[in-house]
A and B are shown apart, each in its own frame.
Chain A
Amino acid sequence: MRIVKFAFCILVIVLVFFVPYTSQAVWFAAESVENYSGCGCDQSNLSYCNDQAEGFVDRMDDASAWYRDFWYTNSNAWARDFIEDEMSYGGQNGQDHYYADDRVRIIFVSGHGGLVGSGSNSRFRGWLCDAPGGTCDFQTDHMKLGEESGQYASPHPGMLRYMVMHMCHSVEYSVANAQWFRTVDYYVADYHMSLGMNGVCTDSWFLDEVGYDFADKAHHSSWTLKGAWWYAIEDWWHNDTGAVVTWGNSQSNAVGRRDHEKFWYGSYKMFDDYGTASWWAAAKHKG
């Protein structure tokens, strides 16, 4: 009888302490490319992108509520992962529902990036490797992020809330809304924030811990995501400039999200969505 009681107690303890945590698993991922020539893409090779992504993965692994979905590098990191599966780009349908932006809550990406167009026609273009028969780049006008409802949500709703990019021009402060709002504009916007680089950023062995530093501060409950990103990119030497853009259903909502949004250790508050986005808020930080 004692053994049965003991076993019952153990079972209760396991249920109380472990089940709620596993049921609130939230997922993260990373993709990074250094060896562009190795996958037939005509960008110059880089040297520290995989280190940055590895640092992000390493520190996020330490966060109890977060689970790693994948970290793809070089020829395994495909631009197609970011292209909406119901859209066609470069002669191929996207496949974001299998990989990056429809599957995880946050993704860190490091590689080449560029600005396409200007003014209200600005888009961000990122370069990774190509899937078999695919393209080496993705553009924000062929991406849908956080699509929980509306035209692009079925059959694959978007899980992503944050995209963190050490890629040149990934959030160009002066046109950040134009660059990124097109990824959320057709539906109730559940994608929260793009955190990236304004202008050119540096591929240096002295910046290879950007991903680690961001994850370290971001999963610390008191740092905002924006603050974590500023800390990660600043070294007061290279002059690299970080930028973020977010949206809200009112001016104060957008500003509040930009200045106060943070991870809450797996609580649902982390994904406190905000209805139709009518305001944007951006910031840049020269560090």
Chain B
Amino acid sequence: MKKYALFLLSLILVSCTQGPKNAIELAQKSLKLSERAISSFPEEIPRTIKTFRFKELSVSEKSVLNLQTRLGFGPYKEEVKESPSHFWVQDGDWYFEVSKFSGQELAANLATYGKQLPDLRWSLEEEKLMAIAREYIIKHAAVNMKEVAEVPQIRYTTSSVGKTEDNTAVEEDITEAHVIFSRELYKIPVIGPGSKLVVTISADGSVSGFYKIWREIDYDAKTPDVKTVDSIKATEDLIKKTDKFKQMEKVSYIQLDIAAFGYWASPRHWQQKTLLPAHTFVYSMRDEKGLSVSKAREELMKAYEGPEIDSLSGVNALKEARKPIEPDKRVDIEEREKLEREKRTSEKR
């Protein structure tokens, strides 16, 4: 009897002290999870993983020429122009650009990009779209196909038109599809906006745009393996950070929109040298009807133990390059009216 009681007591103690089995369970106790968060929630994370270094980036006017040639255009007719963030050229309907900071490439047929083609209804199946896009990147993207994740995502641009007295659309259709390929390194996803290949396809099946942000990895560089931070720990940290928003008036619950683990890659204006593991969470505050009461927030967390190897996200090079601008102060109304008169005379219409 004594033994039985002791066994029962230990069982109760164990069940009380045992934490949640996994990160999803833990998150669900405090947050509402969107479908995307559930599908991307990291379940099993390897205890140790590799880190990577990117090759030194060298972008010049020539990079735009190379892009044009690689995509099957040329010869080069127009002069390459420089903006603070990129080099670009427009040749006929096609626009080409290469970012100075990330090497991001953009090519778009501006005659069709984002536009509804007249008298043509959308009829392209997803399989067909994936086949067109895969063929295009094999031919033109110049990436190591082993790094390209097998299954792409497809997103659509939609257009509609109607009469002003009635809110219902008279016509609505898909304008174009964007087939998005992500990156994987030894089965670990590269997360964030900085590793994507996007092929945009118009209703007639033609490719109207190509977007590539895919910083090149230097596989010869010596980089350390690191111990990872598990997702339960990261989720605990997230819950602590979101707790303050729960106290806010109107906030009924916090919805987790994205939860992901992988190598973090920053967007086009960021200079990034290394590829390091991270946990990232995007969440939004919702009222009782489920409507958002604020912009969504993002938490990016270092997911390796030990000292910092390098900046996880890199540096926003465009912001660094720009001179800060001082916002204006209000002037009194009389001064404002004087300015108004001057302005009206200086603007013809």
A residues 169-219 in Cβ contact with B at 8 Å: 169, 173, 175, 177-178, 181, 185, 199-206, 208-209, 212, 216
Pick the contact of B160: A99, A235, A236, A282 (CB < 8 A). A282
Contact with B along A85-97 (1 / 0, CB 8 A): 0000000000001
B114 touches A285 (CB 8 A): yes
Task: Point out the residues of chain B lying under 8 angstroms from A201, CB to CB.
Answer: 295-296
A277 touches B295 (CB 8 A): no
CB-CB under 8 A for A43 and B294, given A239-B36, A278-B164: yes
Pick the contact of A202: B157, B159, B163, B295 (CB < 8 A). B295
Chain B nearest CB, measured from A124 CB (Å): 13
B292 touches A281 (CB 8 A): no
Q: Is residue B318 contacting chain A, with contact meaning CB distance below 8 A?
A: yes
Q: Is residue A144 contacting chain B, with contact meaning CB distance below 8 A?
A: no
A73 touches B327 (CB 8 A): yes
B161 touches A286 (CB 8 A): no
CB-CB under 8 A for A168 and B248, given A57-B325, A222-B95, A237-B193: no
Residue of A nearest to B106 (CB): A231
Task: Point out the residues of chain A lying under 8 angstroms from B170, CB to CB.
Answer: 251
Within the assembled complex, what's the spacing in Å between the Cα atoms of A159 and B316? 35
CB-CB under 8 A for A259 and B337, given A177-B162, A247-B164: no
Residue of A nearest to B94 (CB): A222
B340 touches A98 (CB 8 A): yes
Pick the contact of A120: B167, B196, B284 (CB < 8 A). B167
A76 touches B330 (CB 8 A): yes
Chain A nearest CB, measured from B225 CB (Å): 26
B115 touches A259 (CB 8 A): yes
Task: Point out the residues of chain A lying under 8 angstroms from B36, CB to CB.
Answer: 239
B330 touches A236 (CB 8 A): no
Contact with A along B41-58 (1 / 0, CB 8 A): 000000000000000000
Of A4-12, A111-119, A133-141, the one touching chain B: A111-119
Q: Is residue B19 contacting chain A, with contact meaning CB distance below 8 A?
A: no
Task: Point out the residues of chain B lying under 8 angstroms from A258, CB to CB.
Answer: 159
B297 touches A284 (CB 8 A): no
Q: Which of B161, B298, B347 has the most CB of A within 10 A?
A: B161
Chain B nearest CB, measured from A110 CB (Å): 9
Q: Is residue B274 contacting chain A, with contact meaning CB distance below 8 A?
A: no
A279 touches B162 (CB 8 A): yes
CB-CB under 8 A for A223 and B167, given A206-B192, A254-B161, A255-B116: no
B110 touches A200 (CB 8 A): no
Q: How large is the interface on A (under 10, 10 to 19, 20 to 34, 35 or more residues)?
A: 35 or more
Q: How large is the interface on B (under 10, 10 to 19, 20 to 34, 35 or more residues)?
A: 35 or more
B161 touches A222 (CB 8 A): no
CB-CB under 8 A for A76 and B327, given A239-B36, A280-B162: yes
A284 touches B157 (CB 8 A): yes
A185 touches B164 (CB 8 A): yes
Within the assembled complex, what's the spacing in Å between the Cα atoms of A283 and B160? 6
Q: Which of B157, B248, B293 has the most CB of A within 10 A?
A: B157
Within the assembled complex, what's the spacing in Å between the Cα atoms of A114 and B85? 33
Pick the contact of A42: B193, B249, B291 (CB < 8 A). B249
CB-CB under 8 A for A281 and B160, given A259-B114, A259-B115: yes
B167 touches A175 (CB 8 A): yes
Q: Is residue B151 contacting chain A, with contact meaning CB distance below 8 A?
A: no
B193 touches A238 (CB 8 A): yes
A98 touches B327 (CB 8 A): no
A203 touches B297 (CB 8 A): yes
Task: Point out the residues of chain B lying under 8 angstroms from A227, CB to CB.
Answer: 108, 110, 113-114
Task: Point out the residues of chain B lying under 8 angstroms from A54, CB to CB.
Answer: 322, 324-325, 327
Task: Point out the residues of chain B lying under 8 angstroms from A114, CB to CB.
Answer: 291-293
Q: Is residue B233 contacting chain A, with contact meaning CB distance below 8 A?
A: no
A71 touches B325 (CB 8 A): yes
Chain B nearest CB, measured from A97 CB (Å): 8
B298 touches A70 (CB 8 A): no
Task: Point out the residues of chain A lying under 8 angstroms from B29, CB to CB.
Answer: none
Q: Is residue A39 contacting chain B, with contact meaning CB distance below 8 A?
A: no
Task: Point out the residues of chain A lying under 8 angstroms from B282, CB to CB.
Answer: 202, 204, 238
Task: Point out the residues of chain B lying under 8 angstroms from A169, CB to CB.
Answer: 292
Residue of B nearest to A209 (CB): B269
Within the assembled complex, what's the spacing in Å between the Cα atoms of A70 and B326? 10
A173 touches B158 (CB 8 A): yes
B83 touches A283 (CB 8 A): no
A residues 209-253 in Cβ contact with B at 8 Å: 209, 212, 216, 222-224, 226-227, 230-231, 235-239, 247, 251
Contact with B along A68-88 (1 / 0, CB 8 A): 011111001000000000000
Partner-B contacts on A (CB < 8 A) = 22-27, 42-44, 46, 50-51, 54-55, 57-58, 61, 69-73, 76, 97-99, 103, 112, 114-115, 119-120, 159, 168-169, 173, 175, 177-178, 181, 185, 199-206, 208-209, 212, 216, 222-224, 226-227, 230-231, 235-239, 247, 251, 254-255, 258-260, 268, 271, 277-287
Can you offer 6 A-B residue contacts whose CB atoms are under 8 A? Answer: A27-B343, A55-B322, A71-B327, A204-B298, A206-B298, A230-B114
Identify 12 new A-B residue pairs, CB closer than 8 A, beyond the known A177-B162, A206-B193, A231-B106: A24-B348, A26-B347, A42-B249, A54-B325, A57-B325, A175-B167, A212-B85, A227-B113, A251-B161, A278-B164, A282-B159, A282-B161
Q: Closest 3 A-B residue pairs measured CB to CB?
A: A235-B193, A203-B295, A237-B193
